[in-house]
Amino acid sequence: MSARGRFITLEGIDGAGKSTHHAWLVDYLRGKGHPVVSTREPGGTSLGEKLRGLLLVEPMHLETEALLMFAARREHLAEVIEPALARGHWVVSDRFTDASFAYQGGGRGLAWEKLRQLEQWVQGELQPDLTLLFDLDAGLARQRLQGTGNAPDRFEREQQEFFERVRAAYHRRAEECATRFYLIDARLSIEKIRESLEERISSDC
């Protein structure tokens, strides 16, 4: 039987650089010969992508939003993440549960304890082995997002103060789960960030 694979997640406020480095990291790991499942949240399954379509567009009650995030996650775990890890594959996900603590908890004000209950219900003891937190101030992240020219979704249209709260909640989560978090100064150049990721990941593979 193969050893369990490794589970890596990328987190940070919108515009911090997750998608850019997610694509690079997946290629890097495949180049090292690892079988890698590249995925994202909300989404990652056929049902999850449909829920994503609703979550990014439809106005809804805060608790509905949190429950749908965790419903999509339950499906993602059952259909994609757990089977891949059991096969010995690496899973690299653009966002996971820390995003719910940051956005629904920090951004929207849902009680941390309710999020902990959902986390326990949906994933039990399973946690990422490594979480790369792209840390950037909300003003710079907004400028970068505007530079892409893409139409903002329901979250990206939030005010700067919302993203400041999201960032602070990510910091809280990083303190609570310090052993699996790796903080990245996302003000650095893409090249410098890649170097630091390479250094961090090479100790694992």
Ligand X SMILES: Nc1ncnc2c1ncn2[C@@H]1O[C@H](COP(=O)(O)OP(=O)(O)O)[C@@H](O)[C@H]1O
Ligand Y SMILES: Cc1cn([C@H]2C[C@H](O)[C@@H](COP(=O)(O)OP(=O)(O)O)O2)c(=O)[nH]c1=O
If contact means CB under 5 to 8 A according to the sort of partner, which of ligand Y, ligand X, none does residue 17 touch? Answer: ligand X
The sheet carrying 7-12 orders its strands as: 36-40, 90-94, 7-12, 130-135, 181-185
**Token code pair at residue 175:** 């303190």
Q: Please state, in angstroms and rounded to a whole number, the distance separating the CA atoms of residues 129 and 134.
A: 16
If contact means CB under 5 to 8 A according to the sort of partner, which of ligand Y, ligand X, none does residue 16 touch? Answer: ligand X
Interface with ligand X, residue 75, by CB under 6 A: no
Q: Please state, in angstroms and rounded to a whole number, the distance separating the CA atoms of residues 73 and 52.
A: 11
**Token code pair at residue 92:** 């690299």
For ligand X (CB under 6 A), the number of binding residues is 17
Q: Which of residues 88-117 bind ligand X (CB under 6 A)?
A: none
**Token code pair at residue 38:** 């590249």
Grouping H, G, I as helix, E, B as strand and the rest as coil, residue 8 is strand
In the chain, DSSP finds a helix count (H) and a strand count (E) of 9, 5
If contact means CB under 5 to 8 A according to the sort of partner, which of ligand X, ligand Y, none does residue 49 touch? Answer: none
Interface with ligand Y, residue 119, by CB under 6 A: no
Interface with ligand Y, residue 103, by CB under 6 A: yes
- 16 annotated ligand-binding residue: yes
CB of 175 to ligand Y, least distance (A): 19
Dihedral (CA of 40, 45, 46, 50) sign: negative
Q: Please state, in angstroms and rounded to a whole number, the distance separating the CA atoms of residues 171 and 178.
A: 10
CB of 113 to ligand X, least distance (A): 28
Instruction: Please identify which residue in 77, 99, 122, 136 interacts with ligand Y, judged by CB under 6 A.
Output: 99
- 14 annotated ligand-binding residue: yes
**Binding site for ATP: which residues?**
12-19
Q: Which residues bind ligand Y (CB under 6 A)?
A: 14, 19, 40-42, 56, 69, 94-95, 99-100, 103-104, 153, 155-156
